[in-house]
């Protein structure tokens, strides 16, 4: 068995559940249950900042296409269209490097998941930071 050394880091967890690591980035969590076709805002826009998604988990009860987007609509897709089947799902756990991120919105825009149809039971969870 190979031994792996893990570098220690200063970690601070706030009452809201936000985690700040030694790099100075504060990681936050958000979750929604999307039921409408079209726009479903996961994280509201933050003036002057981009939302950087480190990890995302999407589950669904019924078949639906989903796309992670910057801002409203699907004009600025951040991901490819994911065609999820009945009781389907998609996980993008990202990288072990805390400086890496999977998706980033344009500055001042919300993080949106665009769905192809109204479908109760589309659950979305993200870990992100603002930059």
Give pLDDT, residue 121: 82
Give pLDDT, residue 28: 92
Give pLDDT, residue 20: 62
Give pLDDT, residue 36: 86
Give pLDDT, residue 73: 86
Interval 5-19 mean pLDDT: 51
DSSP letter (8 states) at residue 38: B
Give pLDDT, residue 10: 46
Interval 1-9 mean pLDDT: 47
Per-residue confidence band for 111, with pLDDT thresholds at 50, 70 and 90: very high
Structural domains of the chain ordered from first start: 29-130 (2.60.120)
Cβ atoms 51, 104 nearer than 8 A: yes
Q: What is the pLDDT of residues 52-81, one digit of tens each?
A: 999 999 999 989 999 999 999 889 999 999
Cβ atoms 79, 67 nearer than 8 A: yes
């Amino acid at each position: 068995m190979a031994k792996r050394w893990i570098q220690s880091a200063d970690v601070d967890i706030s009452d809201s559940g936000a985690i700040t690591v030694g790099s100075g980035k504060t990681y936050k969590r958000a979750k929604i249950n999307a039921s409408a076709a079209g726009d479903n805002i996961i994280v509201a826009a933050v003036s002057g900042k981009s939302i950087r998604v480190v990890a995302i988990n999407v589950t669904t009860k019924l078949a639906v296409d989903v796309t992670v987007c910057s801002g409203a609509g699907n004009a600025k897709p951040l991901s490819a269209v994911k065609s999820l089947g009945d009781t389907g799902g998609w996980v993008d756990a990202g990288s072990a490097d805390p400086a890496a991120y999977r998706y980033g919105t344009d500055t001042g825009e919300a993080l949106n998941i665009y769905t192809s149809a109204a479908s109760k039971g589309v659950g979305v969870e993200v870990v992100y930071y603002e930059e």
